[in-house]
Amino acid sequence: MTFFIFLLACAAAASTGVIFKPGAWYAALVKPSFTPPNWAFPLAWTLIYLLLAWAGYRLSLIPGSQTVLALWAAQIALNTLWTPVFFGAHQLLAGMVIIVLLWITVAAMVALAVRLDLITGLILFPYLAWLCVAAALNFSIWRNNR
């Protein structure tokens, strides 16, 4: 049951991608050469959300994981906020601020999770790696479209 609660939180975050689609506005932006193809985004995020739910579940079973679980809650809130700000409000700089805060939160979460349980830390690592790409993409789009 606990896994499904974490999965529900991830589904709520994912739903913002359905509500606030990139659309013509995003297509018209100047993007860097390292921009992943459009099909990669839903594939990557689906995998990341499944891994996030699994990691949250694993953390919930570990005594002393309250701080990491608080970071889990903070990152899912920031994750949920980014899409409507970037794609909905077209606020590239605000999106950049959110994704930097998200990256810091996830990096702290991964570092603390590794200390509690190596496997859980490794489960979270692809999320941090993808956020590096997403943050670089957000920064480049902001810089090239001011």
Residue located via tokens 């018209």:
28
What tens digit of pLDDT does each residue of 36-90 get? 999 999 999 999 999 999 999 999 999 999 999 999 999 999 999 999 999 999 9
- Supply the pLDDT for residue 30: 97
- Supply the pLDDT for residue 121: 96
- Supply the pLDDT for residue 11: 97
The pTM of this model reads 0.95
What range does the domain containing 7 cover?
A: 1-145
Task: Give the CATH number, domain containing residue 30.
Answer: 1.20.1260.100
Query: For residue 54, how far is the Cα from the chain centroid?
Result: 15
The DSSP annotation for 4-55 comes to: HHHHHHHHHHHHHHHHS--HHHHHHS---TTPPPTTHHHHHHHHHHHHHHHH
What tens digit of pLDDT does each residue of 99-113 get? 999 999 999 999 999
Distance, in Å, from the CA atom of 69 to the CA atom of 109, rounded to the nearest integer, reads 8
- Supply the pLDDT for residue 71: 98
Distance, in Å, from the CA atom of 121 to the CA atom of 33, rounded to the nearest integer, reads 31
The domain tally of the chain equals: 1
Distance, in Å, from the CA atom of 124 to the CA atom of 146, rounded to the nearest integer, reads 33
What tens digit of pLDDT does each residue of 9-28 get? 999 999 999 999 999 999 99
What tens digit of pLDDT does each residue of 131-145 get? 999 999 999 999 999
Q: 110-137 burial, b if ≥16 CB within 10 A, otherwise e?
A: bebbbebbeebbebbbebbebbeebbeb
Could you tell me which of 80, 112, 113, 114 has the C-alpha nearest to residue 99?
80
Spatial neighbors of 46 by CB under 8 A, at least 6 apart, are: 14
